[in-house]
Amino acid sequence: MEQYKKDFIDFMVESQVLTFGDFTTKSGRKTPFFVNTGNYDTGKKISKLGEFYAETIKDRYGLDFDLVYGPAYKGIPLAVTISSAIYSMFDKNIGFTFNRKEAKNHGEGGSFVGYKLADKQKVIIVEDVITAGTAMRENLPILKDAADLSIEAIIVSVDRMEKGTGDLSAIQEIEKDYQIPVHPIVSIDEVVDYLYNREVNGKVIIDDETLARIKAYRAQYGI
């Protein structure tokens, strides 16, 4: 596993974004692990998060694109910090754009804020996680209506590798329906492999009992 992935897993645990215990998802599933990206709540954390996304984009796609797009609301700070990180790390100046939940009908108007969308631009969409794929299904048509864009990839923080409504995960459904690759910084399998019996800040995060619960959950809902 690449070092930046290991560092990102440690970062999630230390930021209390990735936790293990007893949780209930929006779908009602009882899950032994939870990803709460709302805990990226300081300048230091969001800056570091942008660097991990930037590293993943360079590793999985490259730097030949024009802008990052972040769907409102959680995608907004992501788009800003990622574009800044790409500039500071790789000296590549790209644009960032995000959408308004409701179109503005005064001033400059429109549904988008930031770098102006134009035909032939290469766009990378950034999101925290894809749970049901709702945000992507709402935003992809909006982007396509705005300009003749080329959506190159979607980057997310963690792939839970979990079934959606059928046998595919939400990520696999997006890839199948829209023919757009989705790249996570890490998958849940990588997280488990790395953290099993490993101490972070003096504490073992995934012991035998937690691993057994994760395996049982993955056997039921995993892909």
106 noted as active-site residue:
yes
Residue with structure tokens 């945000």? 135
Cα separation, 106 vs 39, whole angstroms: 34
Cα separation, 168 vs 195, whole angstroms: 26
183 noted as active-site residue:
no
Residue-level length of the chain: 223
Residue ranges of the annotated binding site are 26, 73-74, 100-101, 104, 106, 127-135, 160
Tokens of 137: 């299904």
Q: Can you tell me whether residue 151 is helix, strand or coil?
A: strand
Residue ranges of the annotated binding site for orotate are 131, 160
Q: Can you tell me whether residue 16 is helix, strand or coil?
A: coil
Catalytic residue among 44, 104, 144, 176: 104
Catalytic residue among 48, 58, 92, 106: 106
CB of 9 within 8 A of CB of 195? yes
What is the Cα 45 distance to its own chain's centre? 15
What is the Cα 84 distance to its own chain's centre? 17
Cα separation, 190 vs 159, whole angstroms: 10
Q: In 3D, which of 219, 218, 153 has the Cα closest to residue 188?
A: 218
Residue ranges of the annotated binding site for 5-phospho-alpha-D-ribose 1-diphosphate are 26, 73-74, 100-101, 104, 106, 127-135
- The catalytic residue positions are 104, 106
